[in-house]
A and B are shown apart, each in its own frame.
Chain A
């Protein structure tokens, strides 16, 4: 009974050997947050491309039922990580498990249980919307009698019901994205990987997609979503992981991270004249505060703790609530759109 001994191991708080016991019980793995088998588990994962180390000892665990936003500047290794989860890229070092399945050895089973929205659109342009979905209903093993239902359901989710006959080539960018997303939902996956699902979409379309992601979350589907839109991560994610240079540098709920790194208030000071910004920066840093430059002004994080004496010397601030973007910029040293 290796299964139960492994469970015992796990219950002692050492989830070292999560074997496939949960898999024997099938639906037991679907218990939402707190369930024993993490949806995603990466341990010391390294991926190199020649001299470049794209993923550098990545540690990441996503419990089932959680929406995790993966934030990171360009080249942080988000897409590489996603590709390793589908075994389309093989890690050089480390261990990866998805819903209890070892990757890459049991990757096919893992892929049967997850849906993948790639960063770069790989829809079949020569086929219509309906034909694209039909093809994938085979690939995802949707049983024959349920294929029609699956196709109709996903077209409804994408709000493309009346576009079934349209060739993908004739769809707008937003429609293509929607199709790309729901294509991953044909088989009602338990885990969905989304690599920048809303990039380049207008706000209305993006909001519609947020609706889909929220519905997934409400139904207990685990979502790993990389994004450049901080607002999106803040709004949709139960937790965010900040990634830089191939590692997770910080992880937590948006609220906790903001409180920890940026306090409650940010004050923006706009100095007059040349060199004023640097001077201001020096002054604030002397008092141990963190700042970031935004255009011609200086944002002081955790400004609620600024001593009055210092504040008097800085000038008149614009006040706003701290947000995740402040945290992101502080931790990664990069600006985002």
Chain B
């Protein structure tokens, strides 16, 4: 390379002040995941389709034959909508806990990113945004599968991707916060058994919570997944009042906002020494 070319290539420029919160910073974080998704979409899609199909096949027909109708729905319809919410949670929170931890602790990805003009809030938002987008898309897959099993399509279903996106964003941030709280891979066991399982069991996904003891029902009100399930079922089958729907949305959004702050706060504590 000529000396002139090299000097030309090294020439500095003036730089404007970056904004407090910039789309490009967030997009840079998303770009990484988007590129990697380009390499792994087949496997991701396979898992996203096969899992709900198996659940619906086994539970829907196995249990459905015994149960018939549940809370006024055919069991397979009840289950199909519940699984949308469960898969949103799995698609967002699980990778948020695992991948974010690995990127922080082992790959040092965030060290590189934070040396650029990116702050922790933008970083956390980018990570969650990607997972939310993915959940918004893949969350609809169980619905399509359920339609294959006889669920009647309706216009309310068009709201499902939006609900899945909001819930996915909230759960992703929840996962990122957890990943910044834990200090070792081993502690993930506590998270998955002690947090994940109750969250997705006590949310009206596989059975209505009305049969559970009262105190569990009360606890379920604090479970964001319960509100996601209610919203999804409400949009697919109708029968949810505007006030109730707004309340569920507000609770999910409030949860997302709380987690957004907690995730940014805890992550900052971890990555800034």
Contacts and interface: CB of A to CB of B under 8 A. Distances in A.
A159 B22 CA distance: 32
B114 A86 contact: yes
Given A139-B118, A185-B9, 20 more contacts: A88-B111, A108-B118, A108-B119, A112-B16, A112-B17, A122-B109, A123-B112, A124-B32, A127-B35, A131-B35, A135-B28, A135-B35, A138-B28, A139-B29, A139-B113, A183-B112, A185-B10, A212-B6, A215-B9, A219-B7
A187 B18 contact: no
A136 B28 contact: yes
A188 B13 contact: yes
Interface in B8-23: 9-18, 22
B216 interface: no
Contacts of B7: 215, 218-219
A156 B111 contact: no
Interface of A: 26-27, 30, 83, 86-90, 108-109, 111-113, 116, 118, 120, 122-127, 131, 134-141, 153-154, 156-157, 159, 183, 185, 187-190, 211-212, 215-216, 218-221
Contact of B10 (A111, A113, A126, A216): A216
B51 interface: no
Given A108-B18, A141-B22, A122 B28 contact: no
24 contacts: A26-B14, A88-B271, A88-B273, A89-B272, A109-B18, A111-B115, A112-B15, A112-B16, A116-B115, A118-B111, A122-B107, A127-B36, A138-B24, A138-B28, A138-B31, A139-B24, A141-B24, A141-B25, A156-B5, A185-B9, A215-B9, A216-B10, A219-B7, A219-B10
A88 B28 contact: no
Given A127-B32, A141-B18, A141-B22, A136 B116 contact: yes
A153 B3 CA distance: 14
Interface of B: 1, 3, 5-7, 9-18, 22, 24-25, 27-29, 31-32, 35-36, 39, 107-109, 111-119, 271-273
Of listed A118, A127, A134, A215, residue having the most chain B CB within 10 A? A215
B117 A111 contact: yes
Of listed A112, A122, A126, A138, residue having the most chain B CB within 10 A? A138
A87 B107 contact: no
Contacts of A185: 9-10
Contact of B272 (A30, A87, A140): A87
Contacts of B39: 126
Contacts of A108: 18, 117-119
Nearest to B28: A138
B15 A212 contact: no
Contact of B12 (A120, A125, A221): A221
B112 A122 contact: yes
Contacts of B24: 138-139, 141
A114 B80 CA distance: 52
Given A109-B17, A220-B12, A90 B272 contact: yes
A109 B6 contact: no
The 9 lowest CB-CB distance pairs between A and B, nearest first, are: A138-B28, A139-B28, A122-B108, A112-B117, A139-B116, A116-B115, A215-B10, A122-B112, A188-B13
Nearest to A208: B1
Contacts of A131: 35
Nearest to B23: A138
Contacts of A134: 31, 35
Contact of A109 (B111, B117, B272): B117
Contacts of B15: 109, 112-113, 141, 187, 189-190
A131 to B, nearest CB: 5
B258 to A, nearest CB: 25
Given A108-B18, A124-B109, A139-B25, A90 B117 contact: no
Contacts of B5: 156
B27 A138 contact: yes
Contacts of A30: 12, 14
A162 to B, nearest CB: 14
A111 B18 CA distance: 9
A135 B35 CA distance: 9
Contact of B3 (A113, A139, A140, A215): A215
B45 to A, nearest CB: 19
Nearest to A134: B31
Nearest to A120: B108
A86 B6 contact: no
A300 B18 CA distance: 54
A125 B205 CA distance: 39
B149 to A, nearest CB: 37
A188 B11 CA distance: 6
B114 A88 contact: yes
A190 B111 contact: no
A262 B254 CA distance: 68
Contacts of A139: 24-25, 28-29, 113, 116-118
A118 to B, nearest CB: 7
Nearest to A142: B24
Contacts of B32: 124, 127, 135
A50 to B, nearest CB: 12
